[in-house]
Amino acid sequence: MDPANRRAYRRESEATRRADLIAATQELVAEGGSGAATVRAIAARAGVTAGLIRHYFQSKDDLTRAAYVSLMDGMTSKGAEALEGVGAQPEERLAAFVSASLRPPVLDLGSVVLWAGYMHKVRNDPALLAAHGTSYVTYRNFLQSLIAALPRDATEAQLRAEAIACNALIDGLWLEGSVLPHTFTPGEIVTIGIRSVGAILGVDLLAHSAMLPDPGKFLP
């Protein structure tokens, strides 16, 4: 391994050490797929001994799953953090969440590459598939709670269907916006996302968006 990629050993708290191991695993998966994240490589990247990994994780698979959950839950957290300081108006809060889901650091090629590396393994790892399902439902439920707060009459079945549709829309824009950022004008992905989610819900979210300097800039 390139010495430049090896982190110097240092004493850290348990939480910090776990975070370092997760970060090292994510870097290796992004660089070479799940097969590149061997115990030896993870330990070297994190600057620890291979034996120390088992002090924090029961197995390499447990560490791999933790790294995936950290990636996915981090995306949900970034959206939730965007609501801090946003007003109480439901439309504005939903627009802020959608915007945060389609902007850096969530909109990021490295995150897509890392996600794709894990998707290759999901079909053969039931525990990883379960972790993926949990992370997906967590994000979708958060999105559904924001949709449910809108001043509309909607059944639980309708809210669920709308959250699934909006989640799929955001996922698609996240994927293309991260991989092909040069094909979109600045702010275009965010504007399309907010406008399209609003269209699904029958609400003009762009009119309530405080996140865009000029909400109509990219509209035809």
CATH code for the domain in which residue 212 is found? 1.10.357.10
Residues 73 and 162 in one domain: yes
Residues 94 and 190 in one domain: yes
Tell me, yes or no, whether 157 lies in a domain: yes
Tokens of 100: 């945060």
pTM for this model (two decimals):
0.82
In the Cβ-directed half-sphere of 210, how many Cα atoms lie within 13 Å? 14
Per residue of the chain (220 residues), give pLDDT as tens: 454 454 444 555 788 889 999 999 988 888 887 788 889 999 999 888 888 888 899 888 889 889 989 988 888 898 889 898 888 899 999 999 999 999 999 999 988 988 888 887 888 889 889 999 999 999 999 999 999 999 999 999 999 999 999 999 999 999 999 999 999 999 999 999 999 999 999 999 998 875 444 444 444 4
What one-character DSSP code corresponds to residue 8?
Answer: P
**Looking at residue 33, what is its pLDDT?**
76
Residues 136 and 193 in one domain: yes
Domain that holds residue 188: 68-220
Residues 96 and 13 in one domain: no
**Looking at residue 52, what is its pLDDT?**
86
Residues 12 and 92 in one domain: no
Tell me, yes or no, whether 62 lies in a domain: no
Average pLDDT of the residues of the chain: 86
* Cα 8 from chain centroid (whole Å): 29
Instruction: Please state, in angstroms and rounded to a whole number, the distance separating the CA atoms of residues 139 and 116.
Output: 18
Instruction: Please state, in angstroms and rounded to a whole number, the distance separating the CA atoms of residues 65 and 184.
Output: 33
**Looking at residue 61, what is its pLDDT?**
86
pLDDT digits (tens, 9 = 90+) for 55-74: 899 888 889 889 989 988 88
Tell me, yes or no, whether 117 lies in a domain: yes
The answer to whether residues 47 and 7 touch, using CB atoms and an 8 Å cutoff, is yes
State the CATH number of the domain containing residue 14: 1.10.10
Residues 49 and 121 in one domain: no
In the Cβ-directed half-sphere of 18, how many Cα atoms lie within 13 Å? 13
Residues 88 and 119 in one domain: yes
Residues 46 and 101 in one domain: no
Residues 117 and 143 in one domain: yes
pLDDT digits (tens, 9 = 90+) for 172-216: 999 999 999 999 999 999 999 999 999 999 999 998 875 444 444
Write down the H helix ranges in the chain.
14-32, 39-46, 50-56, 60-81, 90-101, 109-122, 126-148, 156-179, 188-201
Tell me, yes or no, whether 166 lies in a domain: yes
Instruction: Please state, in angstroms and rounded to a whole number, the distance separating the CA atoms of residues 107 and 75.
Output: 9
Residues 86 and 39 in one domain: no
Q: How many domains does the chain have?
A: 2
**Looking at residue 220, what is its pLDDT?**
40
Tell me, yes or no, whether 63 lies in a domain: no
